Amino acid sequence: MPVNPKTNNIDEVLARLDTIIGDSYKNNDPSGIFAYVYRRTTAQIKQAVQNKEFEDNDGMERFDVLFANKYLEAYDQYKNGTPCAAPWKVAFDACNEKHIILQHILLGMNAHINYDLGISASEFASGNIQGFKHDFMKVNDILNSLTDELQMRLGRVSRLMFLLDWIGKRNDEASINFSMAKARGQAWNFAVNLAVSSEARKQAIRESTALLTAELGQAVRKPPGKFVSFILGLISSFEVKDIRKIIAKLER
């Protein structure tokens, strides 16, 4: 597939995500699941920018595009058979395997938030990283507001999701919120660490974070324990399998 140029604004990001989702229909490719969730989040960020909810709304759009281009670049690299960041390779490799819908979402979130986000923030605000903190954290409020919606929509395509709730001994919503808050907190620390480090040190930090994030992705991709594997298999057996139908039900 041809390599697409980087996007320049949020509307172009949304258009690229629509293309990825459309391609996933043709190939029944699970990568379209994360692309849909990411599109929904990006559309919400666009709305927040239009509503002037950030201290620097124009800057937040530029940052959102910079951040999105990390994912779009990794997607293009993987689809063209060229090396991509290790956390993304784990996520995209999983699309060739049998996994539940939530695993595909979490693998994408792991790569994009635990790895891409910190790098993007440090690149965007390296000269004044602390001045960017308010708007960075404001996004947490937006993401948390989408948790109930995501929870409801997942129930349409994954009827036995409650089993993960039972295993975790916490409700699904709290689990998703906690994971998101933890991931974005880690991403902020990663960004600050990069921003205050020398160029040589930055490379070492990025490499170690890529390795750790890929290892976390592997744990999501192949959770340890026969019981958990059995539950995941049971959940999968009752899930919608057609990607077009999954996304249609998530959108409804």
Residues 103 and 232: beta-carbon distance below 8 Å: yes
State how far the alpha carbon of 78 is from the alpha carbons of 85, 88, 115, 119, in Å: 9, 8, 16, 19
Residues 231 and 167: beta-carbon distance below 8 Å: yes
Taking the CA atoms of 28, 30, 31 and 34 in sequence, report the sign of the dihedral they define. positive
- CA 78 to chain CA centroid, nearest Å: 16
The pLDDT-based confidence of 170 (bands split at 50, 70, 90) is very low
Question: What is the per-residue pLDDT for 222?
Answer: 87
State how far the alpha carbon of 30 is from the alpha carbons of 67, 189, 209, 240, 246, in Å: 22, 31, 25, 12, 10
At 168, phi and psi to the nearest 5?
-75, -10
- 72-97 per-position pLDDT tens digit: 999 999 999 999 999 999 999 999 99
Average pLDDT, the chain: 88
Residues 16 and 28: beta-carbon distance below 8 Å: no
Domain boundaries, the chain: 10-251
Q: Which of 201, 29, 180, 22 is nearest to 114 (CA)?
A: 180
Q: Any idea of the CA torsion for 200, 206, 207, 209, to the nearest 10 degrees?
A: 140
Residues 154 and 102: beta-carbon distance below 8 Å: yes
For 110-159, the three-class secondary structure string (H helix, E strand, C coil) is: HHHHHHHHHHHHHHHCCCCHHHHHHHHHHHHHHHHHCHHHHHHHHHHHEC
Question: What is the per-residue pLDDT for 35?
Answer: 97
Least reliable range by pLDDT among 114-128, 156-170, 177-191: 156-170
Mean pLDDT for 139-144 is 81
- 184-198 per-position pLDDT tens digit: 889 999 999 999 999
Least reliable range by pLDDT among 117-131, 133-147, 209-223: 133-147
State the angle between helix axes of 31-50 and 10-27 in degrees (0 to 180), rounded to the nearest 10: 160
Taking the CA atoms of 144, 71, 103 and 42 in sequence, report the sign of the dihedral they define. positive
Question: What is the per-residue pLDDT for 171?
Answer: 40
Query: At a CB cut-off of 8 Å and minimum separation 6, what does 193 contact?
Result: 118, 205
Does the pLDDT at position 246 exceed 60? Answer: yes
- Whether this prediction's pTM lies above 0.75 is answered by yes
From CA 133, how far away is CA 236, in angstroms rounded? 39
- DSSP category for residue 97: S
Mean pLDDT for 55-71 is 96
